[in-house]
Structure 1
Amino acid sequence: MSSPSLVLGPLMRYVDETSASIWVETGHSATVTVRAADRSFEARTFSVHGHHFALVEVQGLEPGSKTPYTVEVNSRQVWPPQADEADRADGEEAAEGSGRSHHPELPPSVIATLRPGKPLRLTYGSCRTSVTHDEKGNRSHGVDALRALSLRMATDPDVRWPDLVLFLGDQVYADETSEAMQDFIASRRDIEEPPGKELKDFEEYAHLYELAWTDPANRWLLSTLPSAMIFDDHDVRDDWNTSLAWKHKMDATRWWHERVVAGLSSYWVYQHIGNLSPEERGKDEIWRQVLDHEGADELDLTAELDALAARVDTDPECYRWSYARDIADVRLVVIDSRCARVLDPERRALLDPLELQWLDEQMRGGFRHLLLGTSLPYLLPPGLHHLEAWNEAVAGGAWGPRFQRIGEWMRQTVDLEHWGAWQRSFQRVGEMALEVADGRRGPAPRTVTFLSGDVHHSYVSEVRRRGARTIRGRQGARIVQAVCSPIRNPLPRAMRYLTALLAYAIAGPMGRLASRSAQVPKAPFTWRKLAGPWFDNMIATLEDSDEGLLLRWEKGVVDDDPFAPRLETVEEVLIRSR
C-alpha cells in the first residue's frame, strides 16, 4: 500500500490539543516531511541495525480538529500513495491474500486533536496475532476485532471515534510465530537450530512488526487513531521474568541474550518513543542524541540502544518504560509489569523500588477518573489470585525445599505470575488505590479503574470493602478491574471451558484454603465479578459520562465476506458514580 521508500507507517502516536507525533520507518536514510494545515514539519531519520526511522512532531493545530495530512520522503509523497503505486500494491496484496480489494476505499488519514472539555473515549485491548484475514485466518485465529473497528471508523460517518487506542501487551508474538514469519526466518537461518521458529534478532523483529502493521485497514487505523502501547511477555517470550529460576534457565541458552536485547531495543523504537509527549521524549537519554544530532550523516543508534537493552535486562532500575498522561480531567497511568520486576527471592517485587516510587507519585486524586493500564490484570478471579499467592509462598520455601521445587515448576508451567504472585507489590498498590479512592491523596475520583489484558478472556470485577470513608456525604471512589483480551488470539474451545471452570469455580475454595495454609497476608479488600467472562476476540471502549464510566465490549464478526468484519456489542457495564 506504500512506496518502497516507506516501509511502515505512518503511525499516529502521542496527540494532544494542538500537536501530534507521527512515526514512520523508511527504506533508506532520508528527510521525512509531514504536510498538514498548509504547513510542513520535518525530521531526519536515524538508524538501528540498518533500519531507518523518524518521528515527526506536528505543532500549531486547532483543538478538536480533524486535519488531513501527507507524508513525503526526500520530497516525494509516499502517503497516501500515488495512484500507480497504490495499484501496484493492490495487486501484490491481493496475491498474498490480504484482501484489500474486499473492503471499501479507505478515507484520507487525519490528525484528530483533543477538544478541551470533551469527555474521554478510550478503546483498549491486548493480544493480537498477525495472520491473514481470509477464511483460513479467521478459522485459526478468529476475526480481528481491530480490523472491524478500523472498517467501522472508515465507513460509518456517524460513528464516534475514540480519542485514543491503548494496546496492553502482546502487540507482536516473538515466540508463537505465523507461517509468514517462519518463512522469513527460514530464508535467513536454519530454523531447526535454536531458537527455531522463535525470533532471534532485531532483523526478525523488524519483519514481525511489518507483518503486524501493514494490513491496509489496520494501517489506516494506526495512521489516524492516536495510540499508546506497553509490552507483555510475548513481545519478548512467554513467562518473561517470571522468576529468578526462569531467568537463570534462559541466560544459560546461547540465544537468549541476543533475543532479549533485540526485543527491548526494537520495542524502544517501534513502540516506546511514540508513547511519550515531546517534553517527556526530550528527557530520554537516547532520544536526546536524536535531537542534538547535527552531522550530515544519519545518526546510528544501534550501539546505544543495544547497550541500553542489555543494561535494562540486568538492572530494571536503570530505565523506566512506564508513562502517564492527563487527558482533560482523566489521568492515565500505564505501568510496566514485566521488565521492572525484581527477581531476587529476598526482594521479589513486580515493580522495582524506583518504579514503585514513580507510581506512588502518579496515584493521585483530583481527576474524574484514575485509569491504571497494566498488561497483567491486577485483580484476577479471587480463587485464582489466592492460588497464585500460595504458589509464590511455596516457591519461596514456605513449605520446605521439596515443595519449593514443585512450586517453581508449577509457576512456570501454569503461568502463575500475575499480580497475586507478587504479594509485596500487590499489597502496596492496593493500599495506594484505597488511599486515592478514600480521598487521602487529593479529592477522590469517581473511579479507580485498572485496564488490563493478557488472560485471553474479558471480564469486569469490583472491589468490595467495609468501612469505606464517606467524603462530603459521598462514599469514596469505586475500584474496578476491566479486562479485554484477546483482540485476535482466542483460546481453543476446550481451553475456554477449562479456564472458566478453574478460574471461576474450582479455584475459589481451593485458593482460599491454600493461601491460608501458606500464611499469605490477607488482601486489603475483597472483590467480586460484575460481568463476564467472555472469550471472543474483542475490543473494549470506555466512555466518561455524567452517570459514570460506561464500559463496552465488542466482538468481531463476519457475515458473507471474511475480509469485511463488523463489531457486535457483547456487553455494556455502567460503573455509576457514587
Structure 2
Amino acid sequence: MGKAPLVLGPMMRHVDTTSASIWVETSDAARVVIRAGDRSWQAGTFTVRGHHYALVEADGLDPGSSTPYSLEVNGLQAWPEPGSSFPPPVIPTLAEGGRLRLAFGSCRTSTDHGKSGNRTHGVDSLRAFALRLAREPEHRRPDLLLFLGDQVYADSTTKEMQKFIRARRDIKEPPGKELKDYEEYAELYRLAYSDEANRWLLSTMPSAMIFDDHDVRDDWNASLSWKRKMESTSWWQGRIVAGLASYWVYQHLGNLSPAERARDPLWQRIAAHQAGNGDGGSSELDLTEDIEAFADRADKEPRSYRWSYCRDFGSTRLIVVDSRAARELAPEHRALIDEDELAWLDERLRGGFRHLLIGTSLPFLLPPGLHHVESWNEAMSEGAWGPRAAWIGERLRQAIDLEHWAAFQNSFREVAGLVQEVADGRRGAAPAIIAFLSGDVHYSYASEVQRSAGSRIVQAVCSPIRNPLPRLMRSFTAVMSYGVATPVGALVARSIKVPEPPFTWRGLRGPWFDNNLATLEDTGNGLAIRWEKGEADRKDHERPRVREVARVLLEPRRASGPHSEPPPAQPAQPSDRPAHRSGPLQS
C-alpha cells in the first residue's frame, strides 16, 4: 500500500466574504485541486527541504455561504477520507456585516489522547471542541480560530518527538531533546496537526496564528544577554532559521489575505513560478534557499519583515501583534515592539468600530502585583541598582520568565497611551469594548481597566489549550500573581523609582488553571466570553465532552456622569454550574 498523498491538511486559513485560502502538505510534488459544487481551483506544490506544500485560493464565493468541498492530489480524492465519521468539510465565507464570533487560546502540546496522555497533559480542549462540533453540527461555529502562541514546543519535546530525533542524530549532543533543523520542525508540526478530530476541525474552520517563545525557544528575545547566550552556541543559528522558515510555511502564510500574499516576496517567487508553469504544472519550485535566506535576515534585521497583521470583521477590528520577533533589545532602545512595529500599530488603533480586539501572545495586563514585579526587575536588570544587581536581575528574569509587556515599560506605556486615545474618542468614535486577547501564562483570567467614561478596556487570557502547570507550580503562580506579589510588587517597584502605571485595573474572573479554549462573541448586548474545557469519561478517554468553566458578559458602558463606575461583568447563566467561579485568589 502506497503512502498517503496528504501529510497534513487541508487547513482552512484566511477566509473573507468571497474567498478562502486552503493549505496542505503533500507527500510528493503534486497538483492540488479543490472542488466545491461545479467549481474548482488548483495550485501546484512548492518544496522546502524535501517537503511539499500548496496553498489553493478558492475565490468568487458567495458571502455568508457554507459550501461542502473535496480535495484532490494528482487527480485522486484525498479529502475527505473514505469512510470518515466526521461531517463533510465546508468552505465557510463571512457574511457581510455579520457579528464576529471567534475562539482563542494558546499553549498546546502534542501527545496521545488516550489515558496516558490525558493523565500527563490533561484533555486537549481543542479536540473536545472539535468532537462537540462534529456531534452537534447545528452548534454555531466560530468565524475564526485564533491561536495565540506556542502552537508547537520546539524546546520541550514529547516522547514521540524524541523518538524521531533519536532516529536521526545523537540526542546526547546539543541541542539534545530540543529541535535542531527544518526536518525536525516538519515532524513537530505533523504531530501537532494530524489527530483526526483536530485535523477535521482545521479543515472546516478558518484559523489565524501568531508565535510565542516556545515556537522557537523559552524566553525567546527576553533580553540582549539572552540573545548573546544563544548566539554563542553551536546550534542556535540553525534553530532560528529553521524555526522562522517553518513558521512562515506552516503558520504565517495562511494568515495573509490574497492582497497581502501578493506583496509578500516569498509568495511572489511561488506565484511567478506557478504562472510560468500553467497554474500548477509539472515543475516544482524549490524554495529552500530563498526561505532560509529570508529567515536568517528576518532574525538579524527584524524590521525587514512584519509578522503582525490586521483584519476587519464587519464592525469589529482584530489586530494581531508580534510580541517576540519585533523586539529591540539594545539597552538604550529596549522595546517589546520596535519603532516600525509601533508605527504600524499606531496606524491601526482607530475608533469607528463597535469593538477593537488586540491579539498579543503575552498578556498586556498581567495581575497588578506581577506587573509591578516585572517592571522592578526590568529596572534592576538594566542597571538601576548597579552592575551586580543587574547581573542578579538578569538571572531572575530568565529563571522565572519576567519578560512580558510589563518588563518593557516604555512599550507598555506607549501602547497604553494609544489605547487610551482610542477609548477616549480621540481617534474616531470610541468602540464599546477594547479587548486584549492573550495566552502564554498557563492560567486564564479576565481583568478590566478602571475608567469612568469612554470605551471599556479589558484583558482576556486563555491559556493553556493543552499544557497545564503542575499543581505545585499552580500554587507558586497564584502567590506570585495574586497573593503577596500585589503589595510587595508595588513596594519594590516604588523602591527603584519605576513610575506608576498610567491606569489601574482589577480582576473580573479568575484565575483558573484548566486546559481551556475560549469563545468570544459579539452578542449585540456586548462581548460574551466563555472558557470551556474537555472532560473525559474514565471508560472513554478519547471522546471527551465540553464543560463550561467560566463566562463573562462585557456590556457597553451606559451613558453616565464623570464619577460613575463601569457596569460590572455579568456572570454566566449556564445549564451546568461552572467548574470555577471567582474565589479567594481573585484580584
- Taking structure 1 as the reference length, the TM-score comes to 0.94
Local SS of the residue matching 2:171: coil
| 2:365 is equivalent to residue 387 of structure 1 | no
Local SS of the residue matching 1:564: strand
CA contact (8 A) 1:3 1:81 kept: no
| 2:466 is equivalent to residue 488 of structure 1 | yes
| 2:155 is equivalent to residue 175 of structure 1 | yes
Q: How far off its partner does 1:246 sit?
A: 0.3
CA RMSD between the two structures: 1.1
1:101 matched residue in structure 2 = none
1:40 matched residue in structure 2 = 40
1:464 matched residue in structure 2 = 450
Any idea what the Cα deviations from partners look like across 1:406-427, whole Å, max 9, x if unmatched?
A: 0101011110000000011000
Output aligned runs, 1:415-434, within 5 Å.
Answer: 415-434=401-420
| Rounded Cα–Cα distance in structure 2 between residues aligned with 1:367 and 1:532 | 28
| 2:348 is equivalent to residue 368 of structure 1 | no
| Rounded Cα–Cα distance in structure 2 between residues aligned with 1:157 and 1:151 | 10
**Structure 2 residue aligned with 1:309, among 295, 303, 310?**
295
| 2:538 is equivalent to residue 538 of structure 1 | no
1:228 matched residue in structure 2 = 208
1:100 matched residue in structure 2 = none
AA in 1 matched with 2:481:
A
Q: How far off its partner does 1:521 sit?
A: 2.3
CA contact (8 A) 1:37 1:61 kept: no
Local SS of the residue matching 1:246: helix
Local SS of the residue matching 2:541: coil
| Rounded Cα–Cα distance in structure 2 between residues aligned with 1:327 and 1:492 | 38
Any idea what the Cα deviations from partners look like across 1:520-570, whole Å, max 9, x if unmatched?
A: 122110101000001000000011022111010111111231000111011
| 2:466 is equivalent to residue 508 of structure 1 | no
Local SS of the residue matching 1:153: helix
1:256 matched residue in structure 2 = 236
1:92 matched residue in structure 2 = none
| Rounded Cα–Cα distance in structure 2 between residues aligned with 1:358 and 1:498 | 37
| Rounded Cα–Cα distance in structure 2 between residues aligned with 1:3 and 1:325 | 38
| Rounded Cα–Cα distance in structure 2 between residues aligned with 1:535 and 1:280 | 37
AA in 1 matched with 2:331:
P
Any idea what the Cα deviations from partners look like across 1:354-376, whole Å, max 9, x if unmatched?
A: 11100001100111100000000
Q: How far off its partner does 1:501 sit?
A: 1.4
Q: How far off its partner does 1:329 sit?
A: 0.8
1:404 matched residue in structure 2 = 390
2:312 matched residue in structure 1 = 326
| Rounded Cα–Cα distance in structure 2 between residues aligned with 1:427 and 1:301 | 41
Q: How far off its partner does 1:486 sit?
A: 0.2
2:544 matched residue in structure 1 = 565
1:353 matched residue in structure 2 = 339
| 2:219 is equivalent to residue 239 of structure 1 | yes
AA in 1 matched with 2:547:
E
1:442 matched residue in structure 2 = 428
**Matched residue count:** 549
Q: How far off its partner does 1:157 sit?
A: 3.0
CA contact (8 A) 1:447 1:480 kept: yes
| 2:499 is equivalent to residue 521 of structure 1 | yes
Show structure 2 runs of 5+ residues with no match: 558-587
User: Structure 1 residues 3, 107: closer, same or farther in 2, change over 3 A?
Assistant: farther
Any idea what the Cα deviations from partners look like across 1:378-418, whole Å, max 9, x if unmatched?
A: 00000100110010001000000110100101011110000
Q: How far off its partner does 1:220 sit?
A: 0.1
Local SS of the residue matching 2:331: coil
CA contact (8 A) 1:34 1:42 kept: yes
| Rounded Cα–Cα distance in structure 2 between residues aligned with 1:341 and 1:44 | 36
**Structure 2 residue aligned with 1:219, among 186, 199, 204?**
199
| Rounded Cα–Cα distance in structure 2 between residues aligned with 1:538 and 1:507 | 25
AA in 2 matched with 1:416:
L
Q: How far off its partner does 1:517 sit?
A: 1.3
| 2:88 is equivalent to residue 108 of structure 1 | yes
| Rounded Cα–Cα distance in structure 1 between residues aligned with 2:38 and 2:170 | 51
Q: How far off its partner does 1:463 sit?
A: 0.4
**Structure 2 residue aligned with 1:577, among 538, 556, 562?**
556
User: Structure 1 residues 3, 60: closer, same or farther in 2, change over 3 A?
Assistant: farther
CA contact (8 A) 1:411 1:417 kept: yes
| Rounded Cα–Cα distance in structure 2 between residues aligned with 1:172 and 1:534 | 22
1:10 matched residue in structure 2 = 10
| Rounded Cα–Cα distance in structure 2 between residues aligned with 1:70 and 1:202 | 30
2:247 matched residue in structure 1 = 267
**Structure 1 residue aligned with 2:180, among 200, 205, 219?**
200
2:572 matched residue in structure 1 = none
Any idea what the Cα deviations from partners look like across 1:462-501, whole Å, max 9, x if unmatched?
A: 0014xx5xxxxxx300000000000000001111111111
Any idea what the Cα deviations from partners look like across 1:17-52, whole Å, max 9, x if unmatched?
A: 111000000111111110013111011111111111
Q: How far off its partner does 1:158 sit?
A: 2.8
- Taking structure 2 as the reference length, the TM-score comes to 0.92
CA contact (8 A) 1:539 1:554 kept: yes
Q: How far off its partner does 1:3 sit?
A: 5.8
Any idea what the Cα deviations from partners look like across 1:488-518, whole Å, max 9, x if unmatched?
A: 0000111111111121011111111111111
Local SS of the residue matching 1:393: helix
1:74 matched residue in structure 2 = 74
Local SS of the residue matching 1:32: strand
Any idea what the Cα deviations from partners look like across 1:117-151, whole Å, max 9, x if unmatched?
A: 32111100000000000000000000000001001
| Rounded Cα–Cα distance in structure 2 between residues aligned with 1:549 and 1:192 | 50
Runs (4 or more) in structure 1 with deviation over 2 Å come to none
AA in 2 matched with 1:476:
G
**Structure 2 residue aligned with 1:498, among 466, 473, 476?**
476
| 2:444 is equivalent to residue 451 of structure 1 | no
CA contact (8 A) 1:333 1:372 kept: yes
Q: How far off its partner does 1:116 sit?
A: 1.8
Q: How far off its partner does 1:5 sit?
A: 1.5
| Rounded Cα–Cα distance in structure 1 between residues aligned with 2:298 and 2:168 | 28
AA in 1 matched with 2:144:
L
CA contact (8 A) 1:337 1:374 kept: yes
CA contact (8 A) 2:99 2:313 kept: no
Local SS of the residue matching 2:307: coil
Local SS of the residue matching 1:372: strand
AA in 2 matched with 1:282:
A
Any idea what the Cα deviations from partners look like across 1:42-92, whole Å, max 9, x if unmatched?
A: 111111111110000001112212111111111111111245xx7xxxxxx
Local SS of the residue matching 1:558: strand
Local SS of the residue matching 1:557: strand
CA contact (8 A) 1:3 1:78 kept: no
Show structure 1 runs of 5+ residues with no match: 87-104, 469-474
| Rounded Cα–Cα distance in structure 1 between residues aligned with 2:532 and 2:401 | 27
CA contact (8 A) 2:98 2:313 kept: no
| Rounded Cα–Cα distance in structure 2 between residues aligned with 1:455 and 1:299 | 40
Local SS of the residue matching 1:119: coil
CA contact (8 A) 1:21 1:57 kept: yes
